[in-house]
Amino acid sequence: RKEVEQDPGPFNVPEGATVAFNCTYSNSASQSFFWYRQDCRKEPKLLMSVYSSGNEDGRFTAQLNRASQYISLLIRDSKLSDSATYLCVVNVAGGSYIPTFGRGTSLIVHP
C-alpha cells in the first residue's frame, strides 16, 4: 500500500460546481498535512496547510480525519482557473519531517 493515495481523476466539473477530493495516508504517526496545487509543467505550490480542526481559505476547505487517516479538500464555486493537479502531502515524522506526496488529482473546470 502506498503511503499517500489519491484518486488521479480527472474530475471534470462545470464552472460554479462544488468538488471534493480525498487523500488517504497509511502512517498513523503522520503529523502534518498540506494541499499543493501544480499547474502543467510547473512546480507544486502550497495551497493550504490542513489543521486538526479543519480550516477554510475563501472557497477552499480542508479537513483532517485522523481516525480514518484521510484528508479532504473541498472547492466551492469552481473557477476555470482552478483547473490544475491537486497534490496531497503528508509529513511523516520520527526525527525528520519528510514531505510525502500523493500522485495528485487532476481537476478540469469547464465553461
Partner 1 sequence: ETGVTQSPTHLIKTRGQQVTLRCSSQSGHNTVSWYQQALGQGPQFIFQYYREEENGRGNFPPRFSGLQFPNYSSELNVNALELDDSALYLCASSLLGQDLPEAFFGQGTRLTVV
The site for partner 1 (CB under 8 A) is made up of 4, 6, 8, 32, 34, 41-46, 49, 87, 89, 91, 95-104
**What's the min distance (Å) between Cβ of 56 and partner 1?**
16
Is 20 or 98 the residue whose CB approaches partner 1 more closely?
98
Cell triple for residue 19?
Answer: 468538488
**What's the min distance (Å) between Cβ of 107 and partner 1?**
15
Task: Provide the 3-class DSSP secondary structure of residue 79.
Answer: coil
99: left (phi over 0), alpha (psi -120 to 50) or beta: beta
**What's the min distance (Å) between Cβ of 54 and partner 1?**
14
Is 80 or 93 the residue whose CB approaches partner 1 more closely?
93
- 26: nearest Cα among 104, 92, 103: 92
Is 14 or 29 the residue whose CB approaches partner 1 more closely?
29
CA separation for the pair 101, 34 (Å, rounded): 9
